[in-house]
Chains A and B, each alone.
Chain A
Amino acid sequence: MPLSNNKVADDGSSAEPLQDEKAMVDSLIKVVACYRHLASCVGGCTDSSSLRRDLGKTRERAQTLALSCRKHLTTRLRDKTLPDAERKETERLWVSFSSCLELLHADMSKVLSMVKHFSLANNSAMVQTGVQEGSAEVAARALSLPDLQKDAGPQTSSLEGQEQSHLEQEIEQVDRTLDDMESKVNVLRWTVEALGPQYTDPESTDSASLTLLSVDEETTQQICGRSQMFAAMLLCSVAIFALVLSVCVVFLV
């Protein structure tokens, strides 16, 4: 799915078809995935104020998406006149949505604790993780903006404190959203059946990075291959011997 399709319609009436809501939930999942990628850089050598800022922006976007999703899904599910098949679909979406939200909640809590530990303002040591570039592109994908400001001024401790409290508030908000969801709509999660992987994304067949990793692994399989190499050598020696014999026979003859 190319970048340009990430724009999501935020308005919606109750009469909109299921596809729109599906698209909304999908985009939420995408944003949460991007958030996860960004979060994995916190505390590492690429941690910077821009990363923190990107994190914040992605978070906000996820929140807005979540709120609208919740609104629509709740109204749909409370609608008693919904036909069965649609209700099943909606319930499936609901389960996806709530799982996504829980993942976001977990990620945000992790980021909060990491941010407290690795403070930019106090110049605490960052872990050298081997990551080289910033994750500006990931953030761009999440926020579906073609370009971003490269640098956002230095962080001060007061700014950081503000950000942290902001983050805490957002975590609480997600918490409340989850509780709200549970109380308003009663979806029995174990009755929702999971479908298989519905779409095979051609982008996911990334063989290149696989080969990089597998080359690494091959070096470790030398010991296992030793017996095989020995067998191969034996065969080769036998073949050479046969060749030599035949040459000698030819000479004699």
Chain B
Amino acid sequence: MTIRNVRDHGQRFRPRMACLKKVESVVLEMQDPKTGVKSQNQRLVITTIPHAVTGEDIVAWIANRFKTNTLEARAVGTMMVAFGYIYPLQDHKRLILKPDTSLYRFQTPYFWPAQQWPVEDTDYAIYLAKRNIRKKGMLELYEQATRGTSASQHALVLPYRLEYAWSTSLYIDAAGKERKKPDRVVFECQERAYWVVHRPPPGTVSAMDYGTDRMVDPNMEEVKVYFISKHSNQMALKKKTSDYYRRIIMFTQQCIMRPRVKSSVSIGALVKYSTTYKEHDPFLHSSLPSNPWLTDDVTYWALNLPNVETPTKMRVERWTFSFGELLTDPRGRADFRLFLKKEFSGENLAFWEACEDLKWGAAETMKEKAQQIYKTFLARGAPRWINIDGKTMEITVKGLSHPHRYVLDAAQTHIYMLMKKDSYGRYLKSPVFKDTQKKAIAPEAHRFSDAQLEQNAKRRRPSLSPIILRQQEEEQKAKLAASGPVDITQLCRFTAPVPHLAVYTGICEATSPGLMTLPNSAACPSPISVAIDSTPASERRFDGNGGPSSSHFPSIAEVSISEEENQLPAPKSRMSLSLTRLLRRGCNAPSVFASLSPKCAVTTGGGKVQPLGVEPLAQPQPRRIANFFQIKVDIPPECRIYPIDSEDEEDDSPDTARGTVKEIICPWETITKQDGAG
């Protein structure tokens, strides 16, 4: 069933393939009895079959005909074999021209590759069915896969044609019986060679690969416009079809969309880009240790995993090229996050990641996400307040009344520029980065011999399934969310109660680099996304993850407490902060357990989605909570700078230390009750 007369902008035509006609003419020249290639007889067990040619004869003929050297001739010959015009009689799976006495034969024109007709899966099914019957099931692995899972792979073709394929294969077999034995053998060889060319085993390079389909049928005549010939004073015309107009429209649309830049500027940019990335391009420069596509050795990919602990030197060098490079590399982003944590401006990166998550996330959770981000980052008195100018804030707030995917774009750009101009420069000079640079590994280049290369090729294994990769990603995201950010200086301040309270608690990420793998995640690890995910599946998943991981928290907390006490130097504010962090940790480790209780989820679930209008109501509550912990919040947002907060905490820490240590669980739960009630 072929669908015809479809009118859309789809691409469904095979490209021109002009080389085929040229090769055909060369093949026909080879057939000449006088000036062509000399043929001999192929001797099989009982019979002899004529018209077999040796590889060296072919090479010699090509070299003579085109007046080139043997290497060129051999390449041309291999191309002819790869296209399927000549097929090898021995070693039929390797489509190369061996310049020795190995025999080849010309393919019959019925089996020549053609541009007009793509090779049908139906025919392949017939062929496989025939071979299956013959060899009684001893097909190659990939052929079996094609037959066995034909329903899934060639969904529209094979299932309902299978029966037809079976019956046809039998009849083709039977029809072939009428021919003489040597002819039958020749036909089988021809067919086999045809399918080796057009359905190559996986992992081999096929000469018939042509990339994507084209939009225009190359076999259709080009429609010419009306024009008046000056000489003969006649109008030459062709009918303008809708097809012609469609192409004109597409062309002009693309012309309008094209950006126009001065060539000096664009060329300068190109030169700059080339010089910067010259050594990082695997085509222009050999990649260390070795390019897996060339040597089949996957060390390169193992060393460059998204969340590897020690990155390679090349990777670290890329981070210095631009801020965008640093952010797009997950390992670089993690490093940057660590640096910002030390500088106590992690909320910028968190906000940026949250905005990315909003932009790329699912549509159903978009509104809640936007609200959540507002409450966490943008509102007055928000726990992780970011510093953006008034105008941007105005635009954002106005847009949030009707939230859509790109409502936070302006704010995100502002923060991105802020990070780029300010933090990025400091990051590149920071000890964190210098440490990473020092630890980066520079692997040695592999030097494989030919035998080793063949062995590597044999040992190729498929990589992890994307399902497993996705699961790992999500686990890491959950872990990162669970071990929340540390730049929250107001304890237990959450303007929107969420079931996954661990997100907003001050559970410290372990500072030791050995535990860096724990909070890293491949994709945007927005803690908010995990928090907001209101689907039961994700809650369950988090519970599942939170259960085992929460048991780690006390131990990590203890480890990092001791480390922090050892590591942190004299500055008083830092010490006090560490103490408060300790307190928070002590307070919140049990709170994690409390938060994981379904009761908590139920009470707080209702309050999660709050429209913007409810904001003024929520404001008095946080102030109450803040006073409970003796942290002053009545600072106008513009002047909120963290050191001031830390001074406050410093003064109050002795009291709070005594106060909160006694009442570990209660303040948290009273807050939840309050929020639930309010």
Q: Which residues in A have some Cβ–Cβ distance to B below 8 Å?
A: 1, 26, 29-30, 32-34, 36-37, 39-45, 92, 95-96, 98-100, 102-103, 106, 109-110, 113-114, 117-118, 124-133, 135, 137-138, 140-142, 182, 189-190, 192-201, 203-206, 208-213, 215-217, 219-220
Give the size of the chain B interface in residues (CB under 8 angstroms): 69
Cross-chain contact of B90 among A29, A199, A209, A216 (Cβ < 8 A): A216
Q: State whether A208 and B106 are in contact (beta carbons under 8 Å apart), knowing that A29-B168, A197-B166 are contacts in the complex.
A: no
**Chain B neighbourhood of A113, CB < 8 A:** 114, 116
8 pairs, A vs B, C-beta closer than 8 Å: A102-B2, A129-B105, A182-B1, A193-B160, A196-B166, A198-B166, A209-B185, A212-B44
* Across-interface contacts of A110 in B (CB, < 8 A): 110, 114, 117
Q: How far is the CA of A132 from the CA of B167 in the complex (A)?
A: 28
B31 touches A140 (CB 8 A): no
Which B residues are in CB contact (< 8 Å) with A142?
A: 175
Residues from chain B with Cβ under 8 Å of A118 in the complex: 109
Q: Which 9 A-B pairs have the closest CB atoms?
A: A43-B109, A194-B163, A194-B162, A137-B178, A33-B171, A128-B51, A130-B51, A99-B164, A33-B172
Determine the main DSSP class of B at the interface with A: helix
With contacts A96-B167, A216-B89 taken as known, whether A33 is within 8 angstroms of B1 at the C-beta atoms is no
- The answer for the CA separation of A41 and B78 in the assembled complex, in Å, is 25
Seed contacts A26-B167, A128-B39, A220-B90; 20 additional CB < 8 Å A-B pairs: A29-B171, A33-B168, A42-B108, A43-B108, A96-B167, A98-B1, A99-B164, A106-B120, A110-B110, A125-B32, A127-B28, A128-B50, A128-B51, A131-B183, A138-B179, A189-B1, A194-B161, A194-B166, A206-B184, A213-B185
Complex: how many Å from CA A128 to CA B108?
A: 8
Of the residues B2, B39, B110, B164, contact of A40 by C-beta under 8 Å: B110
Given A45-B51, A129-B107, A209-B185, decide whether A204 and B172 contact each other with a Cβ distance below 8 A. Answer: no
Q: Which one of A41, A196, A212 contacts B46 once the chains associate, using CB atoms below 8 Å? A: A212
Closest to B129 in A: A197
B134 interface hit (Cβ, 8 Å):
yes
B180 near A: Cβ within 8 Å?
A: yes
Per the bound structure, the CA–CA distance linking A198 and B29 in Å amounts to: 47
- Contact between chains at B188 and A213 (CB < 8 Å): yes
Interface membership of B181, Cβ < 8 A:
yes
B46 vs chain A, min Cβ distance (A): 7
Contact status A132-B178, CB under 8 Å: no
In the bound assembly, the distance between CA atoms of A40 and B82 in angstroms comes to 20
Complex Cα spacing A131 to B105, Å: 11
Which of B90, B108, B160 is in CB contact (< 8 Å) with A194?
Answer: B160
- Answer yes or no: B186 CB below 8 A from chain A CBs: yes
Cα A86 to Cα B110 with chains together (Å): 39
- Among A128, A131, A138, the residue within 8 A (CB) of B175 is A138
Contacts of B182 in A (CB 8 A): 130, 132
Is B91 located at the chain interface by the 8 A CB criterion? Answer: yes
Neighbouring B residues of A100 by C-beta, 8 Å? 164, 168
Among candidates A127, A192, A217, residue contacting B108 with C-beta atoms closer than 8 Å: A127
B55 → chain A, closest Cβ, in Å?
14
Min CB distance, B154 to chain A, in Å? 12
A112 to chain B, nearest CB (A): 11
Cα A36 to Cα B31 with chains together (Å) = 24
Per-residue 0/1 for B373-386: is the Cβ within 8 Å of any A Cβ (1 yes, 0 no)?
00000000000000
Inter-subunit contact B183/A133 (CB<8 Å) = yes
B190 contacts the other chain (Cβ, under 8 Å)?
yes
Determine whether the beta carbon of A204 is less than 8 Å from that of B181: no
> B45: CB under 8 A from chain A?
yes
Alpha-carbon separation in the docked complex, A193 to B114 (Å): 32
